[in-house]
Amino acid sequence: MKHEEQKAKNQQQKSAQNGNEEKKASASQNEQQTSNAEQVTKQTAEQNQQAKPEPSEEERKQFEAFMQQIDSAMKELDDARKKAESKLQEAEKRAEVYQKDLERFKERNKNVETELSEKITSNLVKALLPILDNFEHAFSAMPETEAKGIRMIYEKLQQTILDYGIELIPAQAGTEFNPNLHNAVMNTQATNPADEGKIAQELQKGYKFVGENGKIIRHSTVVVYA
């Protein structure tokens, strides 16, 4: 019985010893694998370093020359941009000047057209006014019954003149005398001091272009109270 127990005990000790040896062997193997991996990494780094040699002096010079060309091209591009912007600004300024010149030309042309139109109309009206004056003189020398038909022609002719933008200058008796509109050919004594400086009688009708500052075609001929 004791012999069997001793035998079993010896087997256990032997198994434990074998287990320790296996652990030691495994640890030694891991250390060896780690060392091999580090060695392989080191060799790979050395190979990579050897595979990428330092650039030669000629290659560096070529690279520097290339970079200088890039810088020069960028500078030329920037100069071209600045010149283009400058030319654009000059063109915009010239366009503004041309636009103002065109507007002034249009305004001058418009004024010239207006003046020319007024001159033509004024000359036409001046040519017709003596005819109207003759009609008015005739009315004062004939009975109203006989002047009726002639008055229709007179009124039609006068309306034609007015349709050209012409208006009669107000010069009825009692109207305030205005030297810009009226031409006083004689004075008459006023019976009422309040009438002094006012029109006593219109001798010849006056005409002007429509508007407060319309150009005078012919002043009204009047008698003024003094």
Over its length of 226 residues, how does the chain's per-residue pLDDT go in tens digits?
545 555 555 565 555 555 555 555 555 565 665 565 566 566 665 655 555 567 788 878 888 888 888 888 888 888 888 888 888 888 888 888 888 887 887 788 777 888 888 899 999 999 999 999 999 888 888 887 777 888 888 999 999 999 999 999 999 999 999 999 999 999 999 999 999 999 999 999 999 999 888 999 999 999 999 9
Q: Residue 200: its pLDDT value, please?
A: 96
Distance CA 160, CA 127 (A): 13
Q: Please state whether the predicted TM-score (pTM) of the whole model is above 0.85.
A: no
Q: Residue 45: its pLDDT value, please?
A: 58
* Residue indicated by tokens 């127990």: 5
Q: Residue 145: its pLDDT value, please?
A: 77
Q: Could you please report the per-residue DSSP string of the chain? A: -HHHHHHHHHHHHHHHHHHHHHHHHHHHHHHHHHHHHHHHHHHHHHHHHHHSPPPPHHHHHHHHHHHHHHHHHHHHHHHHHHHHHHHHHHHHHHHHHHHHHHHHHHHHHHHHHHHHHHHHHHHHHHHHHHHHHHHHHHHHHS-HHHHHHHHHHHHHHHHHHHTTTEEEPP--TTPBP-TTTEEEEEEE--SSGGGTTBEEEEEE--EEESSTTPPEEEPEEEEEE-
Domains along the chain with CATH numbers: 90-164 (no CATH), 167-226 (2.30.22.10)
Q: Which residues pair with 199 in a beta bridge?
A: 224
